[in-house]
Amino acid sequence: MSGSLLLSNIHIVTKTKVIENGFVGLRDGKIDYISTSPPTGNYEKVYISRENFYLLPGMIDIHIHGGYGADMMDATAEAMNTLADNLPSEGTTSFLATTITQNHHEIEHALKNVAQWKQSNEAQAGNQAQCIGIHLEGPFISKDKAGAQPVQWIKQPDIPLFKKWLDASDQLIRIVTFAPEEDTDFAFLSLLQEKNIIPSIGHTNAHHDMINLAAKHGARHVTHLYNAISSFQHREPNAVGAALTNENLHTELITDGIHSHPLSIKLAYLAKGSDRLIMITDSMRAKGLGNGTYEFGGQTVTVSGEKALLNDGTLAGSILRMKDGVKRIKQLTNCDWTEIAKMTSTNAAAQLGLDQLLGSIEVGKLADLVIWDESGELMMTICRGQIVFEKKEADH
């Protein structure tokens, strides 16, 4: 990977502050210069920022099934390329390809496909979002909280089967969503810890005591907060109450205003803070395609407006773009840009153990970056030092 680019006179959003009118140099796919003064070295290209443009780390979507006509479960290189090609247009520079509950052969086929595709794309020049692993959502979940996961394929944690899948994925599984009440002796949870895989509580009907006990045994993540987990009651806080109050649990949040009421989004922000929230899309193949009928996990999904629904009215993933989620949470919470960087990138990178390469703007890290205007419009996406998306002048 070669080439160099200087971003000049731009507000740089770091982990702790905003450096106004700064300079960031990108060379050979990495960040090599950050300062309030221009560099003495030469760069092939110079981007002069407009006033009040903000530079943030590229967004990391750790829970995404598909979009733009493709789904991870299609198990084709074409589907993976479609996702990777289109995600920079919404500001996503890295993602975890996410499965859905299916028969074990289809899951294995999809896992193998990601491993093969990733291996063949290792030398890519940086013109796509990068797949940094796999999120296995199901089938080790509760039938009582299936949501849009096909009930007929749900099963209790199966350690030999999971080990087979892990090998099929070339050890790329980074997160596993499971229901802790189905893992009766926490043997599966222990295996995930042993393999350095994030155990994520989701699609669970467990009581708050069970959630907190799972957290004591090493669970450290909650899948799409509020959705497909036991709901909060003032005398029975259940999974939602535990997720909001347990400081050892990071929580995913779909900020489309549909999966969670705007007030619930604000409540999550107030309870967890920007240090423990991770924004996700949980999007499916209909994202970017408009109204119509689509497929998700072998089920028919109808998209109308901003909703994607199964025939029985169950929400079936989302059609949310990360950039729209950012705009909504900023409007709802009045959070600042440093908090946006945490919730869209820094926290995810840290959870995944990739914070030496991703998640913040620091010298030596990958040059995965996004530029926003002060109103929350995405202006540019840079993947490994290359400008991959730029908002057209006429659209601004």
The answer to whether residue 329 sits within a structural domain is yes
Q: Are residues 169 and 311 in the same domain?
A: yes
Q: What is the pLDDT of residues 117-157, one digit of tens each?
A: 998 876 555 689 999 999 999 999 999 999 999 999 999 99
d(CA 291, CA 142): 31
Q: Is position 393 within any domain?
A: no
- DSSP H or E run through 174: strand 173-178
Q: Mean pLDDT throughout 324-330?
A: 97
pLDDT at 1: 44
Q: Note whether 11 and 95 are same-domain residues.
A: no
95 within domain boundaries:
yes
Chain centroid to CA 107: how far? 20
Measured CA to CA, the distance from residue 231 to residue 238 in angstroms comes to: 6
pLDDT of residue 159: 97
Does residue 371 sit in the same domain as residue 271?
no
pLDDT of residue 215: 98
Q: What is the mean pLDDT of residues 158-186?
A: 97
Question: How large is the average pLDDT for residues 318-342?
Answer: 97
CATH number at residue 180: 3.20.20.140
372 and 294 fall within a common domain: no
In 3D space, the residue among 202, 260, 261 whose CA is nearest the CA of residue 228 turns out to be 202
- Same domain, residue pair 378 and 255: no
Q: Mark whether 367 and 324 lie in a shared domain.
A: no
Give catalytic residue positions.
Answer: 282
**50 token code pair:** 């407009």
| Same structural domain, 24 and 143 | no
36 and 82 together in one domain: no
The pLDDT-based confidence of 396 (bands split at 50, 70, 90) is very low
pLDDT cut 90: percent of the chain above it: 91
Residue 322 included in any domain: yes
Q: Do residue 45 and residue 91 come from a single domain?
A: no
Sign of CA dihedral 225, 231, 236, 239: negative
376 shares its domain with 244 = no
Annotated binding residues for Zn(2+): 137, 203, 224
- The pLDDT value given to residue 394: 45
| Average pLDDT of span 370-378 | 96
Q: Would you state the pLDDT for residue 183?
A: 96
**Does residue 375 form part of some domain?**
yes
Q: Is residue 396 part of a domain?
A: no
| Binding-site residue set for substrate | 148, 227-228, 235, 259, 315-317
Alpha carbons 50 and 10: distance in angstroms, whole number: 7
Across the chain, mean pLDDT equals 95
Predicted local distance difference test score (pLDDT) of residue 45:
93
| 355 assigned to some structural domain | no
Q: Domain of 374: which CATH number?
A: 2.30.40.10
Percent pLDDT > 70 in the chain is: 97
What range defines the domain where residue 26 resides? 3-54+360-388
| pLDDT (average), residues 294-307 | 90
Residue that has been written with the tokens 């749900």 in this structure: 154
pLDDT classification of 220: cutoffs 50, 70, 90: very high
- Helix ranges restricted to H, the chain: 77-86, 104-120, 159-168, 187-194, 208-216, 238-245, 262-272, 322-333, 337-341, 347-352
**Mean pLDDT, range 320-335, rounded to an integer:** 97
Q: Band of the pLDDT at 321, cuts 50, 70, 90?
A: very high
Mean pLDDT, to the nearest integer, of 292-304? 91
Q: Is residue 395 part of a domain?
A: no
- Kindly report, residue by residue over 379-395, the tens digit of the pLDDT: 999 999 999 999 986 45
Q: Is the pTM for the entire model greater than 0.85?
A: yes
Same domain, 323 and 211: yes
Same domain, 21 and 112: no
pLDDT digits (tens, 9 = 90+) for 35-79: 999 998 899 999 999 889 999 999 999 999 999 999 999 999 999
**Can you give the pLDDT at residue 319?**
94
- The pLDDT score that the predictor gives to residue 2 is 60
68-110, pLDDT tens digit by residue? 999 999 999 999 999 999 999 999 999 999 999 999 999 999 9
pLDDT at 120: 86
- Number of domains within the chain: 2
Q: What is the pLDDT of residue 124?
A: 56
Pairing status of strand 130-137 against strand 66-67: unpaired
